[in-house]
């Protein structure tokens, strides 16, 4: 297996004659939110360009997340709903809510082509030049310069907002910060926990022998208390597209830097009578699956991503490769290591990577699932009070409808046993997201919108962070940028009534219809399995 192109960061040299791209709107990030931002702005008359850090479009949606947690379908409108209708056309049905990575890629490519929107690839943001509180231009590592009247940051990390000097937070706020209930350190979840007593030490029962790989903390002094804030973030993984089709199956290869000792904790768990690391196979069309994290030890590389949000590109590349090694190595271990019970090896070996997916990266997804990066701090911060319906907003630009969902943030030792901490899964009803949450404070930047790393607490973000919602917010950001451009105003001075009219014309869903029968608890259980994203 050749991993040469399987990289987050592949440095590019400065070109001898850098390009100067000048548009009404510059979108940084060809994620689904970036694509809907650009399309909506283009529909409203703006000249638009997308600058993308990597080599691909579509973010995680086109990189294995084929079973997106959608929440309530009735809460999804506008271009986000159109995406699923276009997938339906691809498969010959009205709408398609599960899909192959190559299908999502094809839909996004055709969509951008229809609107004549150009994407510039491998544009590594280097510098941001602002004047009088507004971004004038952004310079890339290769020397290219993108000039615009307005900018939209649709990266998963919030790189543009950070370099523009906009306030942000990384980690989990304390419950006291925004008077929340489910933020901060969280013990007591019943989900994705060790169901048996698993010894964490290299020699069982002997703390002096050291701890097994995968355990991030060993001291009681660092455990903290329920609701305490910290800088930890929920785990990342790859969403792996698998198949059993012998004509389309590639056996799991051994990754570079493979170390079987990394999975001894999983092996002990299997020998304790629990086998669930491969249980969450969400079926996609044509016999493929979206393999996600499930259980106490699975594809989530818990605690190994803390440096990512604010890390340099080189730091992120190191973390990216570690996740490749961890995720692919786990599959290789389960299929091949003779210490693994035969029935497990046989079950895992039935699966393989899909030969007709991700051909440029040897059938492995090119996008790491960045569940959480920076989060902007604006004049309005979405919190679990919004998610739970305790408070509402009067400037809705779309609805969130999936549960408050955080994956585990660390694996610790408590009284001599392994324990995962951080998972939260709380059912909610659809609720509105404020326009004020996607634009910075006026004193920080007047021509930037941030629909993805928006102003939200960690736990509210756990509900908002679903890809259909990002597409909704991206479209609303594109509309707001177009109105600001038309009226020559700051993004803070966009008239919400005018924005609302545009969004309703574009079939955005801004208010939840209480007459719709919707049981959040049953929806959480039945959509794709609890905690699917």
**What's the pLDDT tens digit per position in 216-245?**
988 888 899 999 999 999 999 999 999 999
pLDDT at 526: 54
Residue 378 CA to residue 444 CA, distance in Å, equals 9
Is the pLDDT at 531 greater than 60? The verdict is no
Confidence of residue 276 (pLDDT cuts 50, 70, 90): low
Q: Which of 463, 437, 461, 462 is nearest to 450 (CA)?
A: 437
Classified as helix, coil or strand, 238 is: coil
| pLDDT higher than 60, residue 529 | no
Whether 524 has a pLDDT exceeding 80, the answer reads no
Higher confidence at residue 1 or residue 517?
517
Q: With CA atoms as reference, report the closest residue to 438 among 494, 488, 513.
A: 494
Q: What is the pLDDT at residue 428?
A: 96
Residues 6+ apart with CB under 8 A from 303: 216, 217, 232, 235, 409, 410, 411
Place of tokens 């786990």: 330
Residue 163 CB coordination number (10 Å): 18
Q: What is the pLDDT of residue 4?
A: 75
pLDDT at position 516, please?
Answer: 81
Show the domains of the chain with their CATH numbers. Answer: 20-171+432-512 (3.50.50.60)
The predicted pLDDT at position 515 comes to: 80
First to last CA, the chain: 28
Count of CB atoms within 10 A of residue 332's CB? Answer: 20
The model's pLDDT over 49-94, given as tens digits with 9 standing for 90+, comes to 999 999 999 999 999 999 988 889 999 999 999 999 999 999 999 9
- Cα separation, 420 vs 442, in Å, equals 40
CA-wise closest residue to 354 among 64, 95, 30: 64
Say yes or no to pLDDT of 365 above 60.
yes
What is the pLDDT confidence band of residue 196, given thresholds at 50, 70 and 90? very high
Question: Which residues pair with residue 281 across a beta bridge?
Answer: 291
236: tokens are 């990342």
Sheet with 281-283: strands ordered across: 249-250, 352-354, 240-243, 288-291, 281-283
When pLDDT is cut at 50, 70 and 90, the band that residue 530 belongs to is very low
Compute the 3-state secondary structure of the chain and give helix, strand, coil in percent, each to the nearest 5.
30, 20, 50
**pLDDT for 45 beyond 70:** yes
Residue with tokens 């925004």: 178
* Structure confidence by residue, pLDDT tens digits, 462-477: 999 999 999 999 999 9
| Alpha carbons 372 and 305: distance in angstroms, whole number | 10
Place of tokens 């455990």: 223
- Half-sphere exposure (CA, 13 Å, Cβ side) for 479? 25
pLDDT for residue 1: 61
The predicted pLDDT at position 221 comes to 81
Model-level pTM greater than 0.85? yes
DSSP symbols for 299-331: S--TTS-TTTTT--HHHHHHHHHHHHHHHHHHH
At residue 277, the pLDDT reads: 58
Query: What is the chain's length?
Result: 533
- Taking a C-beta distance cutoff of 8 angstroms, is the pair 139, 127 a contact? yes
Which of 311, 309, 53 lies closest to 172, judged by CA?
Answer: 309
Q: What is the pLDDT of residue 525?
A: 56
- Chain position carrying tokens 């996600």: 292
Give the residue-averaged pLDDT of 439-449. 98
518, containing H or E segment:
none
The single-letter DSSP state of residue 350 is T
> For the chain, how big is the Rg over CA atoms in Å?
22
pLDDT digits (tens, 9 = 90+) for 296-336: 999 999 999 999 999 999 999 999 999 999 999 999 999 99
CA angle 390, 395, 399 (to 5 degrees): 65
């Amino acid at each position: 297996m050749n991993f040469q192109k399987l990289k987050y960061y592949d440095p590019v040299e400065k070109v001898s004659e850098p390009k100067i791209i000048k548009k009404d709107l510059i979108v940084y990030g060809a994620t689904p939110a970036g694509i809907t931002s650009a399309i909506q702005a283009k529909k409203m008359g703006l000249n638009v360009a997308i600058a993308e850090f990597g080599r691909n479009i579509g973010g995680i949606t086109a990189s294995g997340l084929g079973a997106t947690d959608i929440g309530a379908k009735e809460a999804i409108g506008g271009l986000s709903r159109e995406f699923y209708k276009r997938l339906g056309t691809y498969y010959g049905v009205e709408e398609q809510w599960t899909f192959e990575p190559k299908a999502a890629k094809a839909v996004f490519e055709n969509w951008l082509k229809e609107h004549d929107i150009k994407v510039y690839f491998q544009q590594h943001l280097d510098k941001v030049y602002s004047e009088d509180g507004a971004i004038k231009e952004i310079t890339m590592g290769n020397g290219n310069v993108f000039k615009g009247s307005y900018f939209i940051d649709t990266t998963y990390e919030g790189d543009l907002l950070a370099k523009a000097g906009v306030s942000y937070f990384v980690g989990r706020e304390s419950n006291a910060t925004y008077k929340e209930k489910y933020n901060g350190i969280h013990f007591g979840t019943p989900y994705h926990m060790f169901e048996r007593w698993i010894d964490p030490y290299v020699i069982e029962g002997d703390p002096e022998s050291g701890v097994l790989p995968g355990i991030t903390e060993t001291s009681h002094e660092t455990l903290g208390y329920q609701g305490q804030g910290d800088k930890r973030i929920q785990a990342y993984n790859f969403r792996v597209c698998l198949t059993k089709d012998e004509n389309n199956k590639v056996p799991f290869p051994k990754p570079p830097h493979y170390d079987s000792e990394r999975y001894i904790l999983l092996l002990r768990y299997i020998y304790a009578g629990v086998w669930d690391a491969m249980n969450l196979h969400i079926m996609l069309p044509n016999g493929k699956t979206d393999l996600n994290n499930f259980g106490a030890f699975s594809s989530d590389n818990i605690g190994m991503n803390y440096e990512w949000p604010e890390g340099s590109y080189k730091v992120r590349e190191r973390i990216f490769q570690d996740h490749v090694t961890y995720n692919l190595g786990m599959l290789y271990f389960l299929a091949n290591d003779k210490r693994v019970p035969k029935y497990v090896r046989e079950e895992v070996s039935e699966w393989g990577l899909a030969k007709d997916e991700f051909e440029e990266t040897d059938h492995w997804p090119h996008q790491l699932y960045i569940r959480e990066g920076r989060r902007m701090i604006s004049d309005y911060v979405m919190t679990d009070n919004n998610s739970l319906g305790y408070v509402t907003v009067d400037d809705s630009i779309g609805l969130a409808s999936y549960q408050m969902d955080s994956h585990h943030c660390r694996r610790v030792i408590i009284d001599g046993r392994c324990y995962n901490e951080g998972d939260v899964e709380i059912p909610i009803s659809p609720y509105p997201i404020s326009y004020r949450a996607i634009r910075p404070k006026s004193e920080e930047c007047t021509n930037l919108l941030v629909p993805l790393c928006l102003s939200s607490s960690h736990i509210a973000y756990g509900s908002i962070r679903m890809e259909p919602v990002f597409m909704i917010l991206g479209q609303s950001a594109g509309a707001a940028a177009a109105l600001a451009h038309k009226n020559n105003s700051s993004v803070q001075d966009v008239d919400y009534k005018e924005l609302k009219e545009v969004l309703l014309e574009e079939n955005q869903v801004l208010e939840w219809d209480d007459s719709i029968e919707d049981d959040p608890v049953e929806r959480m259980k039945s959509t794709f399995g609890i905690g699917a994203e």
